[in-house]
Amino acid sequence: MAIEFLQVGVITTTHGVRGEVKVFPTTDDMHRFKRLKTVTLEKPDGSRSQLHIRSVKFFKKQVILGFDEVCDMDAAALLRKCALMIPREEAEELGEGEYFVGDILGIDVVLEDGSAYGKVSDILVTGANDVYEITKEDGKKVLVPAIKSCILGVDLDKGCMKIHLLPGLEEL
């Protein structure tokens, strides 16, 4: 089942006194914020509201956003740690073999012989390739690189990933 909203950033702190916020982008293309007119704010309690983007600036590896609905630093401070989401239909096109993090997290993992192995519990972003953290039934965690020789297939409709374990991965 496809997720309805995709996270594009997380508000880290306020910026200035006019209600702007610093955002850590969780999208590969942080400049996409220039193309967005609205975002959905998701609070830690799960409640959501729509915000209209007033301004977009870039500073180092963060995005500074101003919203029509947020006019001062006190209001902006209440948004710390909130996620910024967009509807799935506004997402960028993915290439072959690329998946949204939200679609991969929690799916079942099976070995190449079809036997159950665990679930994807986290995705670690490294310089070379992502690494999937798989939590086995016994709670043990195994790190599997997201490379073609290890990830044999992903079927999002079935919520399943088939993997090949390279020798030594379980011993790490």
45-97 pLDDT tens trace: 989 999 999 999 999 999 999 999 999 999 999 999 999 999 988 888 888 87
Residue percentage of the chain with pLDDT more than 90: 72
pLDDT at 2: 59
Quick check: 14 pLDDT over 70? Answer: yes
pLDDT at 169: 75
- 57 to 144, 147, 166: CA distances (angstroms): 36, 35, 44
Give CA angle at 22 (44, 89), nearest 5°: 65
pLDDT at 94: 81
Whole-structure pTM value: 0.74
Mean of per-residue pLDDT scores for the chain: 91
Quick check: 24 pLDDT over 90? Answer: yes
Amino acid making up residue 91: A
Average pLDDT over residues 113-135: 91
pLDDT at 172: 62
> In the chain, what are the domains?
5-90 (2.40.30.60), 101-171 (2.30.30.240)
pLDDT at 109: 96
